[in-house]
Structure 1
Amino acid sequence: MDGNKEPKIYMASLEEILNGEATDIYFKRTKEVLEEAGLADVKVRMEVHLYGNPPEGRNWAVYAGLEEAIALLKGKPFNLYSVPEGTLFIRKMPLMIVEGKYIDFALLEAPLLGLLRFSSSIATKTASLKRVVGNKILLFFGIRALHPAVFPAADRAAFIGGADSISGVLSEKYLGLTPQGTMPHALILVFGDQKEAWKWFAKLYEGKINIVALADTLDDERKEALMAANLLGDKLWGIRLDTPASRRGNMKDIVEEIRWTLDLNGFKHVKIIVSGGLDENSILNLKDLVDGFGVGTSIATAPSVDLSMDIVEIDRGNGWEPYTKRGKLPGAKKVYSCKPLEYYIKYWNDNEIPTCTDKNDKPVNLMKLYLNNGNLVEPLPSLDDIRKYVLSQLQFVK
């Protein structure tokens, strides 16, 4: 054991990511072999797609992480085509085409896929939950389940997917999003008295944020909820329940009991937020009684949207040739959309325009050029616009 070793946080730097050091060793060796073999000038068109099924039985997923992928390739000798960030996509649908010399791209494939898979997985799970939540509030509280290096990226993906707010402090700096949150059990435990904790919290933050009292730390949830309402009155916007699984019993009955008691005592204005171990089924069970849901782990550790990237076309100096490994469709492709989830995939050079199921719909080619030889040529939408785009498509999900 090295007694002089200093502890450190293990994270790649931005410089290491951008210059290709954050990659798999076999990509590094591939580049070295191609250089030695004199194949440095071979050009490829590489396609990002999902050939497996979307997770958790869905027939759709949300495409996210495009802005970061563009940042990775910007200023480098590539053309990048992509469908818009936030597009709901289906199995085998082309999402991105990167065009350039393979030897220039080899070290960047791993970080590019990592960016897209990480954000698409979180955005997809958030959108799935938002479908169930509907017009109720969905809060993302899950960054503590992740490495801190990716906190802003996780908040961004969750917001794109439909979260109404996020909790990371750095998201104001990096994303322009105002973080939201309530209070932890630790605050109440340090005070040793829930009333004192609520009182001091309201004293400091009244008029700045919605005052939400955590109402399950030291006593019965119904008792603490009414205690907070009596103490804070009109200052109290809501109460949050984060009851551990070992103490929950029937959570719906507990919430119903609290709602009834608050209403009976003249506190109909007090909203109820529930957090802790929530998924689509538990939210659906509570939705009629609850005003908002704080979701953490199930979003932060969302099942992976298993995006892959393959050479689909190659130019060895004699022009482009459709060419790929078996099991994949050769040739670069474009995708026409008639409406969300009604897509038609065409070969890159096929100029035939598809016919929509509804003759009133007009097919639109979603595959746009974002980088031309490393230069950004397509304006990037705001986070709000991407989120609205995602939400507008969810109504088409069956």
Structure 2
Amino acid sequence: MTSLFNRENTLMSEQLTISSEDYSLLTDLYQLTMAACYRGENVHQKTACFEVFARRFPEGFGYAIAMGLAQVLEYLENFRFNDKQIKALQDTGIFASAPVEFWSLLTEGKFTGDVWAVEEGTAVFALEPLLRIEAPLWQAQLVETYLLNTLNYQTLIATRAARSRDVAGEKTTLLEFGSRRAFSPQASLWAARAALAGGFDATSNVLAALKLGEKPSGTMAHALVMALCALEGSEEQAFSAFHQYFPGAPLLIDTYDTIAAARELAVKVKAGKIKLTGVRLDSGDLVALSKQVKEILPDVSIFASGDIDEWEISRLKSKNAQIDGYGIGTRLVTGKPVNGVYKLVEIDGIPVMKQSSGKLSYPGRKQIFREFVKGKLKKDTLGLVSENYPDKQPLLKLFMKDGRRLEAPYTIETIRKRTAASVASLSAQIRNLDSSTSMPVEISASLQQLTEQTNKGNRE
């Protein structure tokens, strides 16, 4: 395939990593071409309102936990184009017919809009906006890709984490082990953050943990047992060597014979030769093995890993497996996406809506009004920002004004507690793992009327 431009003048690098300087270019091409068109038509500074919402959640998800706002705000604060980036865009030749003023717009521009959003850790339902951008049209358009990337992915992970915590119970230890299966190094950091905020106790991702002010947690891999066993004589010697440097650390005991390893450890524990806090099982019949190991090592915590998810935790609990904690990786950080979309709902004060078959969107700037009865969520009403319900809680709040954050980011612990409280407020039917039931979202009379008026105006 022939290159469209001179490769020597591009931003080519073998290191496909992301820094805050790259934020502006981490977008789909059509965002830039549309922004150029807006500038050419002189509508680029018209105030636009876009909302992020999901029309539906993955099958079996009765709710979703909003997550990723902190990264959205950090991104918007650092949104800039530098001279090298603009030169690289010009060298593609794609923008040869674009208005010359487009380049001045990028050179001088930054995000100057407002951001309304639900707080991270809040349960939301289909059609409810997680976030609203109010900004000049060209800015609001360019930021779509990054916003959907972080909100969709972190919301998925936080929701899976919250479901796992709900099923496992408060006392069960949950560790995030997904770094090797996340879709990229960047995704591994976001997954660790979302899992912790969604209810997990710790992550094995060292970089993520330290950046978040958390303590990383993990055990060992089969490789250590196999290597030291081969070089030093036995599995028992491998365990002793590891405990010499990490006293009391959990040991992985299923490399060869799980029950034989447990018995060997029981002898050493009884003799006072080692202090053992936990063992990990990574394969086999976890129900039967955990029961046998618990009989041999009654005072030692048993951790399980290996293709664990919320459904597997539920199954193991139903079989009375003797498991005190889980390391959850692949099935946490992958799976069917939360397919959030970013849709224009108002431009220059004019409400707009999409009417494509199966992809209807509601017009106008909206608010979620939540009603509780004795601490339990009774009903959500999706209405217009101009409406007022004294007995209901509005969920979207202002987080950024004129491109500046209004408050410091919440801590992981604060978001974790909010997640737990939000899930606890939901009915058992909605929390069910295979739920076909979700909270019915009532459309207010004012929003319904605006929808009908906008729909009629579009047809005319």
Q: TM-score, normalising length from structure 2?
A: 0.76
Task: For residue 172 of structure 1, report the CA deviation from its aligned partner.
Answer: 3.4
Q: Deviations over 1:227-251 (max 9, x none)?
A: 22323555100110011xxxx2x43
- How has the CA–CA distance of structure 1 residues 198 and 204 changed in structure 2, closer, same or farther, with 3 Å as cutoff? same
Letter in 1 for 2:186: A
- Say whether residues 1:42 and 2:72 are aligned partners: no
Aligned match of 2:327 in 284, 288, 294?
Answer: 294
What residue in structure 2 maps to residue 178 of structure 1? 215
What residue in structure 2 maps to residue 27 of structure 1? 31
The 1-side partners of 2:335 and 2:385 are apart by 33
What residue in structure 2 maps to residue 274 of structure 1? 304
Letter in 1 for 2:255: T
Q: Deviations over 1:111-156 (max 9, x none)?
A: 1110111111111111111111112111111111122233322110
The 2-side partners of 1:380 and 1:13 are apart by 20
What residue in structure 2 maps to residue 359 of structure 1? none
- Say whether residues 1:64 and 2:67 are aligned partners: yes
Q: Contact 2:50/2:140 (CA < 8 Å) preserved in 1?
A: no
Q: Contact 1:61/1:90 (CA < 8 Å) preserved in 2?
A: yes
Q: Secondary structure at the match of 1:240?
A: strand
Q: Contact 1:152/1:174 (CA < 8 Å) preserved in 2?
A: no
What residue in structure 1 maps to residue 383 of structure 2? 346
In structure 1, list runs of 5 or more residues that go unmatched.
Answer: 1-5, 355-361
Q: Contact 1:369/1:378 (CA < 8 Å) preserved in 2?
A: no
The 2-side partners of 1:336 and 1:228 are apart by 57
How many residues align? The count is 364
Letter in 1 for 2:199: G
What residue in structure 1 maps to residue 125 of structure 2? 90
- Say whether residues 1:217 and 2:251 are aligned partners: no
Task: For residue 379 of structure 1, report the CA deviation from its aligned partner.
Answer: 4.0
Letter in 1 for 2:237: E
The 2-side partners of 1:376 and 1:154 are apart by 24
Matches within 5 A, 1:181-192: 181-192=218-229
What residue in structure 1 maps to residue 165 of structure 2? 130
Q: Which has the larger displacement, 333-342 or 144-153?
A: 333-342
Q: Deviations over 1:45-73 (max 9, x none)?
A: 11111112x22312200100000111112
Q: Secondary structure at the match of 2:143?
A: helix
What residue in structure 1 maps to residue 134 of structure 2? 99
Q: Contact 2:203/2:209 (CA < 8 Å) preserved in 1?
A: no
Q: Deviations over 1:284-339 (max 9, x none)?
A: 23233111111110111132111111111110xxxx12112221100111112223
- Say whether residues 1:169 and 2:206 are aligned partners: yes
What residue in structure 2 maps to residue 358 of structure 1? none
Letter in 1 for 2:69: L
Percentage of pairs with the same residue:
30
Letter in 2 for 1:130: R
Task: For residue 366 of structure 1, report the CA deviation from its aligned partner.
Answer: 1.5
Q: Which has the larger displacement, 299-308 or 146-155?
A: 146-155
Q: Secondary structure at the match of 2:37?
A: helix
The 2-side partners of 1:7 and 1:346 are apart by 47
Highest CA radius of gyration, 1 or 2? 2
What residue in structure 2 maps to residue 155 of structure 1? 192
Task: For residue 21 of structure 1, report the CA deviation from its aligned partner.
Answer: 0.2
